[in-house]
Structures are given as structure tokens and as C-alpha cells.
Structure 1
Amino acid sequence: MGCTSCSTGKDGQPRGCKNNGTCGSDGCNKLTVFDWLSNMALPNGQKPFDCVEVRFKNSRKAFFRNTENLSLSIGDVVATEASPGHDVGIVTLTGELVKVQMKHKKVSLDSDEIKKIYRKASQRDVEIWSASRNKEAEVQKRARELAIRLGLEMKISDVEFQGDGSKATFYYTAEGRVDFRQLIKDMAKAFNIRIEMRQIGYRQEAARLGGVGSCGRELCCSTWLTDFRSVSTAAARYQQLSLNPQKLAGQCGKLKCCLNFELDAYLDALKSFPKADTKVMTAKGKAVCQKIDIFKGWMWFAYEGEWMNWYKLKTSHVHEILELNAKNEPVPSLEEYASELEEDTKIDFENVVGQDSLTRFDRPKRKKSRRKNQGRGGQQATKGQRGKSKGNRPQKESSGATKDQQQKQQKGGGNQKKRRPNKNQRRNKARQQGDKNE
């Protein structure tokens, strides 16, 4: 993944900045926020907001107070307060927009829990931070081996080192409660660092690791989605989706978060529909709803016992029938209100790019037959007539031919083929040439 300024290389690494997703423009980071107030100057006499937003590994962000009045901008690497030691992160947002983000995250502006920024990261801080990040894959593999040896039912999905390398946070997922006290002792002995275990859900795991969904785009939880709302199968029922768990589940194994995106539009459209389990009374008998089209406003009904014959009705007609049924006045039949089921679904394909017809292989090939010339009366022309027609054609006069040759050609009736001399004529001609040579 790479931003537009640096693009993507062969192995998925940013080609320009080589920072593996932590570029200075902050365009290829997760959950970025566009600072639309960056070009606007503050009124006279107003001081800039003293808090900034700092991003750490993956989607973890926090707010820090700039007590040293450092000139910070988006993309600066800073050393922040941590317990114990210090951590290293990248500034993702500054200015008045941070105040809006803190209100959105429900963080008090005057809270004492907001930690401070020590300084801009030096070259030494960046080297230690990079060395710690490079050890995370090896440490994660070793930690999984220790968990399997102890027989713990847990999955260590991610490891995050602190900026100074003195502490490591292990993120894991588990179905129930796990006793990992012995695991912490073994890992502290193997890695010689401070260990912190943090359990996360399956949705948070997918957000940290990232991936590509069934739609072909990156996961919403890893790019822009921050709040995880509960998703139920009722959302799929309202949208008339097949209740197939393999299609409704995302990368995390839970129901897809995108099922809630269009749910409100479906619920608003369903307000004008009668209940799906309502029955319509007619003189022919009861009719039951079989199918509905939410956005076109159609409903299909079938008589009890005649389930194969469906009648398409508008919602306005269904409400009219229900009003008559409430007055104990059944309608004669559904055929009076039903619309035609046969619709013109023929699609006209246009030859936009200059290609042949799409059905060119469906047509049988015609046999090639020689067309014979026919006369005016429709009878077949004879050989003489064809010869006469050939002789009547205008001839082109050659510029190099003499008048005598042209007259001979006209008397001969056109261009005639020269006859090949026979064997006796060729012998006599050869003898004449021999006599001349002597």
C-alpha cells in the first residue's frame, strides 16, 4: 500500500519514501484524517491548540500535549511520554481539528491523563525504534511456540514494541478466559523485556492486520471505520439477502460491518409496505405474499393451493384491498389489480468499439454458390449471348497500337486468344531458322 506521491513497489513497499507505510505525507497510513483547516490562519490574539494527535503501530492513536511549544507538523517523528520510558510515534494531526477529534473520541480537553511530548525524535531514537520494529515478527513466532507448548487456547495475532525497546505488548484473541501467568514468565525470560498482554476481539484483529474483502477493496475497519457496531442477521433479512454464513461473514469470521451501511435506507422504504405475513381476502380465496421489491414498490401474491401462479401488485393497490377487507368487503379477484408479468427484457447491444455482433456464431454458415447470369425474362443466358455481351463491352484503346492493329482487332470481334502452333509448324519454323543461319 502506498500513497499517490510515492506509489507502490514490487513487494508492496512504498517506492519513494521507503518507510513501509509511515511516510511523511501520511497518505498511506491507516485511519488518516484530512486536515481541511491547515490553510486557514488563526484570528489575531488566539493561540494554537496545544494538543496533537500521534499515531503508533497500525491504528493505535493517542493525544499528547505539546508543553514545550515545539513547531510540529504532520509527519514529524516525536518521542512521547510512556510508562515506563518513552515511546516513538508520528504526528498525524495538529491545530484546531485535534479539538474536534478529542470531542469525537470523548476525551476531556483539560484532562490530566493526557501525556506530554518530550521532544522531536533524534537519530538515535529512530535507530532504536527501527531495530525494535524489525524484531517483532521473530518475537511473535517465538511467543506462539511458547503458547502452544503450554497448551493455551489463544492466538497471538500481533506484537508491538515500545519506542525505546524496553516493553512489548502482545495482542491475542481467545474464546474464553486464559491463564497466561506462566506464559508471561517464559516470555520475560526469553526476551528480557517487560511484557504486557492485551486481549482484543476478532474485529479489532482484522483492523490491525488488514486485508482485502470480498468486494475487492481494503477492509473498512483497517482504513476508515473506527466504531464497531453490533451486526445481526435481521439486517440481512431486511435487505432480502440469503442467510448464508459464508457470504455474510467477513475476514474476521463475524457478520460484515457493511450490512449496516444501507440498512436505514431499506427501513425507510419498508415503512410504506404492509407486513409481509398479511393475507388478502378475495372471492376466489385467500392470497399470501410471496415476494416484494422494496425500491420499485411491487408485491407478488399467490392463492392458497395455487402457489405457482403469482400476481404482481403495487403497494397502493394492496393497501386498497386491505382497506376493503377491513370493512368485510372482499375483492372479486387479484387479476383486476395485477400487472402484466411479461416484460420486455430484450437488451439492444450497440457496436461501440467496432466489433462484430454478439450472436455471429449462432447463425448457420451459408454455402457459397455461383450465381449464373440470367436474362431479362429470367431465363438462363446461352453461351452465345454471353459472348455477345462480352463483345459489346467498350474496349480501351492502347496508346502504343497503330491504326491497322486497331482495325484488325475490331474486325476480329475483340481480343482473341492466340492459337498455339502445332508440331509440324514448329518443325518448319526451326528448319527455316537453320537455313538462314547457314
Structure 2
Amino acid sequence: MEDNLSINRGCCKGSAGTCSKLEVHDWLSDVVHMATADNIVEVRFKNTRKDYFRNNNNLKLKSGDIVAVEANPGHDIGVVSLTGELVKHQIRKQKVKLVNGDFRKIYRKAKQADIDKWKEAISLEHTTMIKSRQITNDLGLDMKIGDVEYQGDKTKAIFYYIAEGRVDFRQLIRVLAETFRIRIEMKQIGARQEAGRIGGIGPCGRELCCATWMNSFVSVTTNSARYQEISLNPQKLAGQCGKLKCCLNYEVDSYIDAQKDFPPNNIPLHTEAGQYNFFKADIFKRTMYYIGEGKNNTGPLAVPVERVKEIILMNKKGKRPDKLLNNTDSILAQKPKEFEDVLSQDSLTRFDQPKRNRKKKRPANKNQGNRRPSNRQSPRKKDGSGTNNK
């Protein structure tokens, strides 16, 4: 029953694998916990929504139990996702804000009547979302209602919407309250949260990170691409949400640390042979590529970072080296070996084509040039005389 409920709530297969976002691995599960007064339990709901409640009744709860918890107003139904000491770490990590100075309470384990009413509320969510979109369109509001979440007792519904700017939805709330006879709460979500709710496959071939494991979204800027020497192409840098890809922030710290002692790339290098300007950099190989001007424009030269620092220091003192590279590090920048697509080199239908009959060429006789002597005799004439003479 719990598996069916979690699927219906959009926690697993029905919502692009968000179950992995809601569940938490309890790495302290094998540790014996001391009984404390702070008996806090983490409970998960729909759309990656989690909250923390106090187990005042000392119920024996474990991960996966369906519980009835305090809500405003009434009560809500959720699934226990975490218990024990790890809950305190999650509270500090998520920076949970208390309501009226204390956590709300867990009433009881959900009874069958609670579960039945909860399932009835779940069945109303899709039709409510479609109807609310029609109402929004009739009112001419520049917003999109992405999802609806009913409270477990069917007295309240949360409408998740997307909007570019500020939207005055006071009239919308009145119309929705009159239409559905429930309490309305509007919650705005961003384009990244919407993409995570819908799901999809990224250009890397894997399921979207926002749909599988990402809960908090950090702002992504073009500086992350600049630090990694990535081309600032909006079509390649944007994800399915239309914003910059979240994965641009994954390795940017390593690139920043590797470039701490790199010299500025806007300073040209002056030598006796001419001037060289910066072209690109291979950060982890600690190599900077420079192209010469005028007669020295022979292609990018790979210059070690230490050599670049040395030339810049010499230029500041008014000196110019004879050559850009020393004899020890005179390496001409070669074009890196690109990936070879072996499959595209051969045709997939090459075995379907008929084989050609290729006759082996016989070696020519040296005495008669290219003509090969024939052992066949000429045909005899009708009178019996042949052409061969003894």
C-alpha cells in the first residue's frame, strides 16, 4: 500500500524519480541512539516538500510510516523519511524556521480512514490543476500553475505557479476559493524547480540532476564558464529550464584553485622577435597558448606558466628575451588529438552490399611484353587446313 501511495503522490515513478530527492540515507542507522527529549522526526510530502515534527506521544516510528501531523488548519498526511540523531544535522543544514517557537506535533500513525481521505484528495489534484489553469487564462494573468497539492484532510490546497514578474493574484484566490470550497495557498517556484518536477534527459545522457537529487539550487553565472575556459555559447550553456546549467558549478572550485598563481591573460608578451598575445590556456597542464603578431604569426605556441611569469617580469624591467621559449621548453602547440568516432567510419549496411568479383591479375611475360602466350591452336578451316605450320 505504501508503494502505491508514494507513486500516486508523485514521489517515485510518476514524477521523474523525485523519490530519490525525498528519501535520505541514514548513515547513523546502526548506531544506538540515546533517548533525548528532542524527539524530532522528518516527514516528507509532495513536490520535495519536507518538514520536521515533534513526536510528543513517543510513537515507535520508522522510515516509511504514514503519519497524521499538525497543519494550519487541520491535519496533513505524510511519510516518515528520517528519524534519530541525523535529524538534528538536517535541521541545522536546512536552517529550519520554527513556527511559534516550537515544532509542530505528530498526532498518530495514519488510520485507514485517514488514508482513504488522503487518497481522495490526491485524486482531485490533476482536475483541480486543469481547472485552475483555465481560470488563470480567463483572468488574463501572466502566470502558469504547474501543480496542485491537497492537504491530507482536503481543507487546503497549495498551488505551485511560475511567473516571470510580480503577479496580482488576489482576485484569482477569491475565484479559486469559491470554485473549490477550500483554503488556497499560492507558492511560487522557479524554472529550475519546474524542470525538476517535469524531468527529462540532459545532454550528458543522464536524467536531469534537478529531477533526481538536487534539492537546493545555487545561482549560476557566466563567470563559472569563464573560469573553465568554456565558450560562452548560450545554446550550449543553457539547460532544459532555459537557465544556465547547474553542472557549471560542479568543478569551478577546482579550476579557481588551479588558476590562483596564473598571470593575467590580458598582458601581451614582448620579445626581440615581436609581440605575442594570449590565445587560450590549458589550466591543469599549466600551459598558456600565445599567438604572435605580424611575421611571428606561425600558430599558437604552448608556453609554461613559469615562463610567462618570467617574461612579464622582464618586460616590466624594460627587458625583452630573445625568444618566447627556452630550448628546454620549446614546444610548438599541436592540435590536440580529437575523439575518433570509429562507428561512423564504416557503413552499417556494408555487409548488405554484394561483393564484387575481383579477378587476380596474372603477371605478364617478359619475353612478349604484356601479351601472354596462348597454347590454344587456331581453329581449322573447313577445308581441313590449319594455320599452324610445322
Task: Verify: 1:257 aligned to 2:246, yes or no.
Answer: yes
Task: Verify: 1:183 aligned to 2:172, yes or no.
Answer: yes
Select the residue among 288, 304, 311 that pairs with 2:293. 304
Aligned counterparts of 1:78 and 1:102: Cα–Cα separation in 2: 20
Identify the residue that residue 54 of structure 1 maps to in structure 2. Answer: 43
Q: Which runs of 5+ in 2 are unaligned?
A: 351-355, 366-371, 376-390
Which deviations, in whole Å up to 9, do the C-alpha atoms of 1:259-307 show, x marking residues without a partner?
1111111111112321111111111222111121111122221222354
Aligned counterparts of 2:209 and 2:18: Cα–Cα separation in 1: 16
Identify the residue that residue 407 of structure 1 maps to in structure 2. Answer: none
Select the residue among 200, 209, 223 that pairs with 1:234. 223
Q: Which amino acid in the other structure matches residue 40 of structure 1? A: V
Identify the residue that residue 69 of structure 2 maps to in structure 1. Answer: 80
SS at match of 1:147: helix
Do the aligned partners of residues 62 and 284 (structure 1) sit closer, same or farther apart at CA in structure 2, a change above 3 Å counting? same
Task: Verify: 1:66 aligned to 2:55, yes or no.
Answer: yes
CA contact (8 A) 1:52 1:64 kept: yes
Select the residue among 307, 319, 325 that pairs with 1:317. 307
CA contact (8 A) 2:266 2:278 kept: yes
Task: Verify: 1:340 aligned to 2:332, yes or no.
Answer: yes
Aligned counterparts of 2:6 and 2:173: Cα–Cα separation in 1: 37
| CA positional deviation for 1:381 | 11
| CA positional deviation for 1:48 | 7.7
Runs of 4+ more than 4 Å apart: 14-23, 108-111, 342-350, 380-383
TM-score by length of 1: 0.72
Aligned counterparts of 2:4 and 2:189: Cα–Cα separation in 1: 33
CA contact (8 A) 2:18 2:211 kept: no
How do residues 10-409 of structure 1 correspond to structure 2 at under 5 angstroms? 22=11, 28-42=19-33, 46-47=35-36, 49-107=38-96, 112-306=101-295, 307=297, 309-334=299-324, 336=326, 338-342=330-334, 345=337, 367-369=358-360
Do the aligned partners of residues 214 and 97 (structure 1) sit closer, same or farther apart at CA in structure 2, a change above 3 Å counting? same
Q: Which runs of 5+ in 1 are unaligned?
A: 1-13, 375-379, 384-438
SS at match of 1:172: strand
CA contact (8 A) 1:30 1:58 kept: no
CA contact (8 A) 1:79 1:86 kept: yes
Do the aligned partners of residues 233 and 166 (structure 1) sit closer, same or farther apart at CA in structure 2, a change above 3 Å counting? same
Do the aligned partners of residues 348 and 56 (structure 1) sit closer, same or farther apart at CA in structure 2, a change above 3 Å counting? closer
Aligned counterparts of 1:160 and 1:57: Cα–Cα separation in 2: 7
Please say which of residues 198-207 and 34-43 is displaced more in the overlay: 198-207
| CA positional deviation for 1:77 | 0.4
| CA positional deviation for 1:343 | 7.3
Identify the residue that residue 397 of structure 1 maps to in structure 2. Answer: none
Q: Which amino acid in the other structure matches residue 310 of structure 1? A: P
Q: Which amino acid in the other structure matches residue 288 of structure 2? A: M
Please say which of residues 187-196 and 337-346 is displaced more in the overlay: 337-346
CA RMSD of aligned residues (A): 3.6
Q: Which amino acid in the other structure matches residue 311 of structure 1? A: L
Bigger RCO of structures 1 and 2 (CA < 8 A, at least 6 apart):
2
| CA positional deviation for 1:107 | 3.3
Identity %: 48
Do the aligned partners of residues 181 and 111 (structure 1) sit closer, same or farther apart at CA in structure 2, a change above 3 Å counting? closer
Aligned counterparts of 1:109 and 1:191: Cα–Cα separation in 2: 30
Aligned counterparts of 1:347 and 1:217: Cα–Cα separation in 2: 21
Aligned counterparts of 1:318 and 1:245: Cα–Cα separation in 2: 32
| CA positional deviation for 1:65 | 0.4
Larger Rg: 1
Do the aligned partners of residues 195 and 291 (structure 1) sit closer, same or farther apart at CA in structure 2, a change above 3 Å counting? same
| CA positional deviation for 1:37 | 1.4
CA contact (8 A) 2:307 2:325 kept: no
Q: Which amino acid in the other structure matches residue 340 of structure 1? A: L
CA contact (8 A) 2:64 2:79 kept: yes
| CA positional deviation for 1:108 | 7.2
Identify the residue that residue 382 of structure 2 maps to in structure 1. Answer: none
Which deviations, in whole Å up to 9, do the C-alpha atoms of 1:119-151 show, x marking residues without a partner?
111111111111111111111111011111111
SS at match of 1:309: coil
Q: Which amino acid in the other structure matches residue 57 of structure 1? A: K
Aligned counterparts of 2:315 and 2:199: Cα–Cα separation in 1: 55
Aligned counterparts of 2:208 and 2:214: Cα–Cα separation in 1: 9
